[in-house]
Structure 1
Amino acid sequence: MVSIREFRRTCYAVTRRTGGQAVEFRLAEGAIPNFHQGLIAYRDHTVAVVCSRDLAVLAVAEPRIIDFADGAAESGPLTFVDVPALTAALAEEPGFRVFIPSELNGPFDATSWPHVLPSDITYWKPATLGEALFNYWD
């Protein structure tokens, strides 16, 4: 299980180094999604650093809405984005593995990720590594 405190610390650290501003943390508290988001605003765009709740893995994606006022949530695969300076800063942080879009959009090999439950693989049929690591499965 990844520490929310460590995830927040990491987001603030990379934000300082890349000239952005941490504007919001969307923490997954229920069964879905299986990831947290740290929204970082830059002059011309906002991105989300996503962190799996169960693994120390990070990626950069388009921000997703977890909870609306009426309880609805977005679901489906994330759109991973390439922000080289942010990715490089994340890679310098200890304790996390950082993935880039080309890795996450590539095929999922279940033998490389034994923590992903076989029943989830059979039911959800993740086509990409990103779908297997960051998802809305219940």
Structure 2
Amino acid sequence: MILQRGITGKNHNVDDHFPKPAGKEFKQLCYTLIAQLDGRVLAFSEPQIDTNYFHVELEVFKERLHLLLNENHRYLAVASEVDYFKLTFIDEPTLTRQFAPYYTVLQQAELNERIQLRPGRKKGALLNENDLCKEELVDLVYWNPKTVGQAVFNHWD
């Protein structure tokens, strides 16, 4: 997966225009699409100062699952566990089909791809294909995420 500019939540360039998802639209879609699956939304959270994603906790298929939507890009992920530094991403084909017309639903393999950092450098330290700005690269070195998913959906301030 190519890590696109703004994916980590940083946006220091006012000229950058991201295809930002609308929180209200996402919330409405979640309630509608999850109800069609005989599920229910338990909680909806917008991005905070230390998170860069919308978080929906839901009950569907007799399971408690989570939907994460990046705040700057229309990237959606399904997780079975969302804890401060532990995100367990899963592939859920039915949810993928429901949300794919509206968002790019990232798969577990993409999200679990290892972040490869060149030791001892800040600029140019990331070996994964990317279009990140300098501030994002500095954050990656500082926060040291292990996977692409931890960079795309993070708890950095």
| Partner Cα distance (2:80, 2:61) in 1 | 15
When Rg is computed on C-alpha atoms for both structures, the one with the higher figure is 2
Selected match of 1:41 from 59, 62, 65: 59
Unaligned runs of 5+ in 1: 65-73
Q: For residue 43 of structure 1, report the CA deviation from its aligned partner.
A: 4.9
User: What is aligned with 2:91?
Assistant: 82
The answer on whether the counterparts of 1:17 and 1:89 sit within 8 Å (CA) in structure 2 is: no
More strand per residue: 2
Residue 20 of structure 1: aligned partner: 39
CA contact (8 A) 2:34 2:60 kept: no
Quick check: 1:104 aligned with 2:111? Answer: yes
Q: Does 1:50 align with 2:75?
A: no
Q: Deviations over 1:54-86 (max 9, x none)?
A: 22111011353xxxxxxxxx5113111222101
Confirm whether residue 8 of structure 1 aligns to residue 27 of structure 2. Answer: yes
CA distance in 1, matches of 2:131, 2:40: 33
CA drift at 1:114: 2.3
**CA spacing shift, 1:129–1:63, aligned 2, 3 Å:** same
Contact 1:77 1:135 in 2 (8 A): no
Give the number of equivalent residue pairs.
126
One-letter amino acid of the counterpart of residue 101, structure 1: Q
2: CA distance between counterparts of 1:113 and 1:18?
37
**Separation in 2, partners of 1:45, 1:106:** 25
Choose which of 60, 64, 68 in structure 1 pairs with 2:78.
60
Q: Once the 2 structures are TM-superposed, how far is the Cα of residue 113 of structure 1 from its aligned partner? A: 4.5
- TM-score using structure 1 length: 0.78
CA distance in 1, matches of 2:43, 2:28: 13
Higher helix share: 1
User: Where does structure 2 lack aligned partners over 5 or more consecutive residues?
Assistant: 1-19, 116-126
Identity of aligned residues (%): 27
SS at match of 2:62: coil
**What is the one-letter code of the residue matched to 1:87?**
T
Matched, 1:124 2:143: yes
Match of 1:112, SS? coil
Task: Say if 1:113 and 1:132 are closer, same or farther in 2 by CA, change over 3 A.
Answer: farther
